[in-house]
């Protein structure tokens, strides 16, 4: 939508650029991106910025390179403040990288983009970022995330992943912050209660410190017929996974936004989620919210939504409507406005 400015996309590895436009350039270099065992991005980006005569540098993941010229305006996106609020849920090297570089980057940025008012408040409270520097910018859902016929979608997922057609699901990286052990314990409570026959499908790539998560089901005596980890699910299958689910459950203890919530609602899945951080802001009145620390609370909420058809229908309708508020064209225009404001400041000196 921007037909005026020129963009340079920096990457260590080659990637597909899905547009042909002379104003967009790929700049590939082996030292552009930082890695846990090397700081090439931190030390090598200054030369690239000078070479490309960049006016604004946008760090899309918490960190800005060291040594950027003072005349270059700096914008940084903050997805969440996990390293400040829940450091015990992070891999140590990732935590140290954020401790060394993220806070410094955020505090010296001219503009900070974040994905929720919750994160905006955290930036003010914990890092002292002035509110006028912060732009809350909700992400959007792609057009493929829309309701499909539930039984057909469930049948597809069952054949694709060799699972039951009767399932509830959760989506997210398998790591401590996602609080999946609590969800698995909730499933155990439901089985002990009797009358619960849905399989819990957990979709997501393997993160870190997750051996206890995988072991929880075994320790509780739950078979794969009760709980199954699907691993990474391709993007094209996710709308069908959500659409075929009888329920989507999101037990995370902390989120800067929580995109799977919007994806699930857009596909017509009723939602049960944690009542913490940005989650209530994201779902509004379109989900049942419970404490992330009580498996019994999740079990009761899951049971109630699955047993009460009127509640299910109400959550589905509200969820589809709520998801319509999150659109990438709106997000993109807000990003462009942030960049233009930063450029205007630069011109004013």
Residue 37 is predicted with a pLDDT of 38
Q: How far, in Å, are 49, 189, 192, 310, 325 from residue 186 at the CA level?
A: 51, 5, 10, 23, 31
Q: Can you list the pairs that 83-89 forms with residues at least 24 positions away whose Cβ atoms lie under 8 Å? A: 84/122, 84/126, 84/127, 85/122, 85/126, 85/254, 86/177, 86/253, 86/254, 88/176, 89/175, 89/176, 89/177, 89/209, 89/253, 89/254
Residue 100 is predicted with a pLDDT of 86
Report the candidate in 146, 115, 192 with the shortest Cα–Cα distance to residue 320.
Answer: 146
Question: What structural domains and CATH numbers belong to the chain?
Answer: 7-140+328-348 (3.40.50.2000), 150-323 (3.40.50.2000)
Query: What pTM did the predictor assign?
Result: 0.90
Residue 215 is predicted with a pLDDT of 82
Determine if residue 23 is left, alpha or beta; phi over 0 gives left, psi from -120 to 50 gives alpha, anything else beta: alpha
Both structure tokens of 156: 């597809």
Half-sphere exposure of 310 (CA within 13 A, CB side): 0
Both structure tokens of 186: 């909730």
Residue 36 is predicted with a pLDDT of 37
Both structure tokens of 175: 């790591």
Contacts of 325 (CB under 8 A, 6+ apart): 138
Helix (H) or strand (E) holding 300: helix 295-307
Residue 154 is predicted with a pLDDT of 98
Contacts of 2 (CB under 8 A, 6+ apart): 23, 336
Report the candidate in 140, 236, 220, 150 with the shortest Cα–Cα distance to residue 181.
Answer: 220
Q: Where are the beta strands (DSSP E) in 176-270?
A: 199-203, 227-231, 248-250
Mean pLDDT for back-to-back runs of 10 residues, the chain (349 residues): 91 86 85 51 78 92 88 94 87 85 92 96 96 94 94 98 97 89 95 93 80 82 92 96 98 95 98 97 97 96 97 98 93 93 78
Residue 93 is predicted with a pLDDT of 83
Rounded distance, CA 331 to CA 136, Å? Answer: 10
Residue with tokens 């040594």: 67
Both structure tokens of 187: 């499933």
Residue 38 is predicted with a pLDDT of 41
């Amino acid at each position: 939508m921007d037909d005026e400015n020129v963009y340079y996309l920096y990457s260590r590895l080659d990637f597909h650029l899905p547009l042909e436009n002379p104003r967009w350039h790929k700049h590939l270099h082996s030292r552009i991106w930082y890695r846990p065992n090397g700081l090439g991005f931190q030390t090598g980006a200054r030369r690239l910025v000078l070479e490309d005569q960049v006016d604004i540098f946008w760090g899309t993941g918490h960190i800005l390179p060291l040594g950027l010229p003072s005349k270059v305006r700096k914008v940084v996106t903050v997805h969440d403040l996990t390293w400040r609020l829940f450091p015990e849920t992070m891999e140590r090297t990732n935590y140290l990288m954020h401790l060394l570089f993220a806070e410094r980057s955020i505090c010296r940025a001219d503009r900070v983009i974040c994905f929720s008012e919750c994160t905006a408040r955290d930036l003010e409270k914990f890092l002292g970022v002035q509110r006028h520097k912060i732009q809350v910018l909700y992400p959007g859902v792609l057009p493929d995330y829309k309701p499909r016929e539930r039984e057909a979608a469930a049948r597809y997922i069952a054949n694709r992943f060799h699972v039951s057609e009767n399932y509830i699901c959760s989506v997210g990286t398998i790591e401590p912050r996602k609080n999946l052990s609590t969800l698995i314990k909730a499933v155990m409570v439901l089985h002990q209660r009797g009358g619960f026959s849905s399989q819990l499908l957990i979709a997501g790539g393997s993160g870190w410190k997750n051996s206890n998560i995988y072991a929880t089901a075994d320790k509780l005596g739950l078979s794969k017929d009760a709980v199954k980890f699907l691993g990474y699910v391709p993007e094209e299958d996710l709308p069908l996974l959500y659409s075929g689910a009888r329920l989507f459950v999101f037990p995370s203890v902390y989120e800067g936004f929580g995109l799977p919530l919007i994806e699930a609602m857009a596909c017509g899945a009723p939602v049960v989620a944690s009542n913490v951080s940005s989650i209530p802001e994201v779902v509004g009145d379109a989900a049942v919210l419970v404490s992330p620390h009580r498996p019994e609370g999740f079990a009761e909420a899951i049971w109630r939504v699955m047993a009460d058809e009127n509640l299910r229908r109400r959550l589905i309708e509200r969820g589809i409507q709520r998801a319509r508020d999150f659109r990438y064209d709106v997000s993109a225009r807000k990003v462009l406005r942030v960049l233009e404001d930063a450029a205007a400041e630069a011109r004013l000196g």
